[in-house]
């Protein structure tokens, strides 16, 4: 009598059982970074030898697994090695910002193959802008020598409220004309691939949690202070989007009772006071591109410029209060503080830490992003990689399965 593992309980739909077993094998194969043997797959999945052999044959025929041939004997039958073919298809990521747009192409494990930073096209409506970006993605695929039909999935970020389920950017105040934009459908039609759309700050915390400073911190947040202000929030390892997709829109925080009766509109009290425009209003020498005048602001403060020092202290106080308020609500173990102001590190980072420590009783680690300005792009690649796995499973299920 044959004994079956829990993964192979008999009864019910045999086809459904085979699909479950295929998903299990595929997950182990993708996560295995070095060549592996059939015996290792059997141990990792708990499936029987005939089942693993049949499913591996299916994966080799599909092109997702490469047969590497036999290796040296260790006292018995020579083992046959194989590996996941991460270049069988590819993924792409887009981080659309008001000024700059970042693009990347990666393999099916999310390893970078090509990368580009381009100015965000100006004077275009949403559809024309996304058509221009889709063209840039196709160029990047050619640069990486990947046929366009190998693109399996794409992750895209936008700076605003995103209806994740419908792939619609509900509102992006810093992008002209961006209201109820069907970003997923436009990019999907242009590129012929599955598209997942997400808020850029949500992508930033996903990226830092995957490859950066927030690894191991399942309840954490990415807070960015720049032209716009926002936060991406993870709670127990999952994105917290909110009922209206507005979780993390801390730009709307009211910073005091004196602001309640003011008509500050969608830009929000916090963003009005602590965004780059608010900081620039406190320092008369703030002219030209933001990255330049911010650098000059910190230089002037270190040289004793009283106005520059007050502007930085004001920014640090407002940022510290906002971070403390957010921390009081979600109780994170770590906050990643990003954006042009935080990029200059101390003294702003230290001042924010001191303010938060005065307000919040529990210790919170506040750190700069390990991925810098690339955090949302890495988050988009993570989403694309996750969607690509789902698409591969669907394709394999539609193919003729081994008995």
Using CA atoms, how far residue 121 sits from 131, 160, 170, in Å, is 11, 18, 20
Q: Any idea where the domains of the chain sit in the sequence?
A: 6-85, 90-204+376-391, 213-369
Query: Which residues are within 8 A (CB) of 398 and not within 5 positions of it... i.e. 6 or more apart?
Result: none
CATH among 3.30.70.330, 1.10.10.10, 3.40.50.300, 2.40.50.140 for 6-85 = 1.10.10.10
Question: According to the model, what pLDDT value does residue 22 have?
Answer: 87
8 Å CB contact between 203 and 157: yes
Q: CA-CA distance, 160 to 179, in Å (whole number)? A: 10
Residue 173 to residue 161: CA distance in whole angstroms: 9
Helix, strand or coil for residue 315? helix
Phi, psi of 86 (to 5 degrees): -70, -15
Low-confidence ranges of the chain (pLDDT < 70): 1-14, 71-77, 263-268, 400-403
pLDDT of residue 261: 77
**Which of 364, 353, 366 has its CA nearest to residue 329?**
364
DSSP string for residues in 331-384: --SEEEEESTTGGG-TTHHHHHHHHHHHH-SS--EEE--TTGGGHHHHHHHHHH
User: What CATH number was assigned to the domain covering residues 213-369?
Assistant: 3.30.420.40
The answer to whether 6-85 and 90-204+376-391 have equal CATH topology is no
Q: How high is the pLDDT of residue 75?
A: 57
What CATH class is the domain 90-204+376-391? alpha beta
Whole-number Å distance between alpha carbons of 192 and 185: 10
315 Cβ partners below 8 Å, 6+ apart? 225, 274, 279, 341, 348
The Cα 1–Cα 106 span in angstroms is 47
Q: What pLDDT, on the 0 to 100 scale, is given for residue 342? A: 83
Contacts of 323 (CB under 8 A, 6+ apart): 223, 335, 337, 352, 355, 356, 366
Query: Can you give the pLDDT at residue 11?
Result: 42
pLDDT of residue 9: 42
Give me the pLDDT at residue 280, please.
Answer: 92
Q: What is the pLDDT of residues 331-362, one digit of tens each?
A: 999 999 998 888 877 778 899 999 999 999 98
Q: Which residues, 6 or more positions from 300, have their beta carbon under 8 angstroms from its beta carbon?
A: 283, 285, 307, 308
Neighbours of 65 (CB within 10 A): 24
Check residue 396 and give its pLDDT. 83
* CA dist., res. 393 & res. 253, Å (int): 43
- At residue 196, the 3 state secondary structure works out as strand
Sole residue written with tokens 């991460």: 86
What is the number of other CB atoms lying within 10 angstroms of the CB of residue 199?
29
Q: What is the pLDDT of residue 267?
A: 52
356 within 8 A of 316, measured Cβ to Cβ:
no
- Structure tokens that stand for 159 in this block: 């700076």
DSSP helix/strand/coil, 164: coil
Establish whether the linkage from the previous residue to 113 is cis, with ω within 30° of 0.
Answer: no
Mean pLDDT of the chain: 89
Peptide bond into 174 cis (omega under 30): no
Q: What is the pLDDT at residue 264?
A: 58
- 267 by Cβ neighbours in 10 Å (0-12 / 13-18 / 19+) ranks as middle
Q: What is the pLDDT of residue 400?
A: 64
Q: pTM (2 decimals)?
A: 0.89
Query: Residue 393: how many CB atoms within 10 A of its CB?
Result: 15
Residue 368, token pair as written in the block? 């700069």
In the prediction, which pLDDT does 297 show?
93
Report the residue count for the chain: 403
Residue 38 backbone phi and psi in degrees, to 5: -60, -40
């Amino acid at each position: 009598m044959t004994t079956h593992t829990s993964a192979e309980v008999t009864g019910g739909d045999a086809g459904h059982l085979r699909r479950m077993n295929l998903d299990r094998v595929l997950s182990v194969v993708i996560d295995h970074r070095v060549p592996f043997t059939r015996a290792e797959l059997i141990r990792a999945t708990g499936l029987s030898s005939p089942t693993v052999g049949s499913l591996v044959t299916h994966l080799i025929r599909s092109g997702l697994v490469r047969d590497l041939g036999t290796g040296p004997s260790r006292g018995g039958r020579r083992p046959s090695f194989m590996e996941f073919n991460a270049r069988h298809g590819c993924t792409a990521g887009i981080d659309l910002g008001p000024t700059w747009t970042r693009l990347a192409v990666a393999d099916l494990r999310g390893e970078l193959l090509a990368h580009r930073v381009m100015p965000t096209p100006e004077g275009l409506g949403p559809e024309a802008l996304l058509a221009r970006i889709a063209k840039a993605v196709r160029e990047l695929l050619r640069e990486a020598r990947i046929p366009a039909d190998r693109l399996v999935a794409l992750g895209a970020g936008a700076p605003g409220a995103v209806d994740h389920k419908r792939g619609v950017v509900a509102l992006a105040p810093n992008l002209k004309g961006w209201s109820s934009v069907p970003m997923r459908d436009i990019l999907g039609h242009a590129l012929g691939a599955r598209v997942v759309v997400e808020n850029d700050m949500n992508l930033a915390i996903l990226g830092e949690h995957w490859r950066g400073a927030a690894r191991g911190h399942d309840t954490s947040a990415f807070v960015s202070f720049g032209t716009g202000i926002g936060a991406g929030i993870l709670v127990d390892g999952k994105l917290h989007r909110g009922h209206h997709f507005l979780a993390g829109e801390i730009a709307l925080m009211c910073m005091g009772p004196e602001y309640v009766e003011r008509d500050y509109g969608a830009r929000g009290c916090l963003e009005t006071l602590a965004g780059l425009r608010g900081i620039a209003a406190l320092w008369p020498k703030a002219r030209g591109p933001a990255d330049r005048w911010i650098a000059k602001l910190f230089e002037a403060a270190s040289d004793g410029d009283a106005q520059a020092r007050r502007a930085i202290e004001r920014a640090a106080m407002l940022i510290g209060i906002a971070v403390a308020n957010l921390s009081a609500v979600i109780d994170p173990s770590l906050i990643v503080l990003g954006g042009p102001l935080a990029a200059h590190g101390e003294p702003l980072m230290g001042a924010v830490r001191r303010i938060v420590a005065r307000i919040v009783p529990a210790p919170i680690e506040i750190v700069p992003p390990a991925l810098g300005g690339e955090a949302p792009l890495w988050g988009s690649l993570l989403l694309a990689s996750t969607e690509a796995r789902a698409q591969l499973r669907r394709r394999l299920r539609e193919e003729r399965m081994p008995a």
